[in-house]
Amino acid sequence: MATKALVAASTKPLILSILSHRENYGYQIIKEVERLSDGELQWTDAMLYPVLSRMEKEGLVRSQWVKTEAGRRRKYYHITDEGTRQLAAEREQWMRVNQVFLSLWGLGGKDPELSIA
């Protein structure tokens, strides 16, 4: 199971990545994260909605209420142009960090020279 710190650090890029494929509503975002992580990440409404609200204030996502065929209203979120730019920056940072770990753990094809003081 992922630590709280890792979950917190990965929340924004995960949401932006999911929304970059298509607009979605909160419950479906939670289920998609669970599916993609093979159940390792268990998000809750109480965790997700404050993050979505902050992201909306930052201009990274926008929301819209949609009435479903069953007559219920659902709040759908979609990524904005600013969100797309932020996702590109996040992706680059995460890829750099991932490459460092792959090298350190001997999985990236590089033989890291470590100096321990």
pLDDT confidence of residue 109:
56
**4-104 maps to CATH 1.10.10.10:** yes
Residue 117 has pLDDT above 70, yes or no: no
Contacts for 13 with CB less than 8 Å, ≥ 6 apart: 87, 90, 91, 94
Where are the domains positioned within the chain?
4-104
**Using one digit for the tens of pLDDT, what is the confidence trace for 5-38?**
888 889 999 999 999 999 999 999 999 999 999 9
* Average pLDDT of the residues of the chain: 90
pTM attached to this predicted model: 0.84
Reduced to 3 states (helix: H, G, I; strand: E, B; else coil), residue 13 is helix
* Location of structure tokens 């710190």: 5
pLDDT computed for residue 63 by the predictor: 98
